[in-house]
Structure 1
């Protein structure tokens, strides 16, 4: 059995660690509430943009635009070159101690890179993502620092301008994003989503007797797409940053709560062990005193 001093040191060490994990849990819960509020404020705007993009693509099936997926142009690109140039935006965190949050994102990104035969340009949000790809000797085109812990619309617009500039100049043929989407307060999933070019939805079969809505673009189709799509991409990136931040804080809350509970269990077990060792030491002292007294009594007689 371990000595009293050793058990006391272990108890003090675990108590200090428990204070840290409990404080981190409280900090993450505060950040989580703020991030959830930001997400709730963002979702109506983002969903409205998504609905408008779906309407635009549905009502303008024959419009050719660089932002819209065109099967003919895709086939021509595949004939001219065997590889497409894909820009991949990976959203990770700046800090660890968040369970499997960063691991899931980086694992999905590594699987994406391994499966792709195309040329990939990496755009990374988060310090842990930068460290991982640098450790794997994978070149990074752009690293957006100080964004994972402070997702704002201005930072999302800055990222969107860089990606759109490369897409419009022809440096990139496709833009994908890997981020963590928050399903609910307990579940978050890392996923890959394409941002550009926008995929046209399948044309639904509309009965003849159903009146269709009138859809006009002013001044013309191209101008409307040039105005809406950049805002849609900015909103998409901002929503991805906020959802990832929410997921990170949620994962850190769960990890710190689990660590605190484990510390409580360890303290309980060590308390029992300490009491047993203390009782054993007291019993031994009593036995030694009784033995000494008995020996002294025999000596006097």
Structure 2
């Protein structure tokens, strides 16, 4: 059995770790509320953009546009925007995203990776061509950052460098569950719109100055909204995963402290018993003398 000092030192070390995990849990909880509030504040605007796009598609089904029509190629060049975290200590969050990305990307595809963990992971493997100048953090997502990312993706698509663009991110299903998700950003895919029913109108809609001009303006803004929404969802999922990981670590730390407390008490009792035995033995020897 370990001595009393060793047990006490280990208990103090675990208590220090418990303070850190509790602090990380509280910080993640506070940031999560802020991130969800950001998403809720901007969702109505992007829902309306989505409805307008569906209006266009419903009234002009034969419209030919670069943002709508898939390029007929035997092997289209695909680009993937992969959103990972900048730090670990978030359970299987980063592993699930990188696993989904590896299952879908090929050597000829191009990667745009957000987050240090993803850049480090794919940089070691060279599974696909990774844009080395694409340095963006996942912390505290902003509209400005989403605009810069979306403009880069649109530029690559319009120039013909990419034929299809996808986003791989972590979507929050409920307040405690999330799962990795992949959506196609370009060309636009109305089948995956979450608010598809809101975009269908029974009345005739007139677009000024033309359908193409309206789509030229709406589509890039909608893509920026998709990127921003995915960034906020990923950041929220990361914080949620970290909260759960820290909660589990805190629970394990408390159980270890409880177990070590029992060992400490047993060691103290054994030491006291040993001292009493030695005192009694000494007293008996003195009487004999």
TM-score (normalizing by structure 1) = 0.89
**Equivalents in 2 of 1:153, 1:212: separation in Å?**
33
**Alignment equivalent of 1:157, drawn from 147, 150, 162:** 147
Residue number in structure 2 paired with 1:260: 250
**Equivalents in 1 of 2:212, 2:22: separation in Å?**
54
**Equivalents in 2 of 1:144, 1:184: separation in Å?**
31
8 Å contact 2:114–2:134 — kept in the other structure? yes
Residue number in structure 2 paired with 1:8: 8
8 Å contact 2:56–2:211 — kept in the other structure? no
Residue number in structure 2 paired with 1:225: 215
Residue number in structure 2 paired with 1:104: 96
* Per-residue deviation, residues 62-108 of structure 1 (Å, max 9, x unmatched): 110010025xx52xx23xxxx21111000011011011111111111
Are the structure 2 counterparts of residues 181 and 201 from structure 1 closer, same or farther at C-alpha, using a change threshold of 3 Å? closer
* Per-residue deviation, residues 111-145 of structure 1 (Å, max 9, x unmatched): 112xx4x7311001000000000111233114543
**Equivalents in 2 of 1:201, 1:244: separation in Å?**
22
Gaps (5+ residues) in structure 2? 193-200
Residue number in structure 2 paired with 1:123: 112
8 Å contact 1:25–1:257 — kept in the other structure? yes
**Alignment equivalent of 1:251, drawn from 238, 241, 251:** 241
**Alignment equivalent of 1:198, drawn from 188, 191, 195:** 188
Residue number in structure 2 paired with 1:170: 160
Matched ranges for 1:1-301 at <5 A: 1-70=1-70, 73-74=71-72, 77-78=73-74, 83-113=75-105, 116=106, 119-138=108-127, 139-142=129-132, 144-199=134-189, 212-299=202-289
SS in 2 for 1:119: coil
Structure index of larger Rg: 1
* Superposition RMSD in Å: 1.6
8 Å contact 2:116–2:137 — kept in the other structure? no
Equivalent residue pairs, number? 280
8 Å contact 1:178–1:193 — kept in the other structure? yes
Are the structure 2 counterparts of residues 134 and 112 from structure 1 closer, same or farther at C-alpha, using a change threshold of 3 Å? same
8 Å contact 1:28–1:252 — kept in the other structure? yes
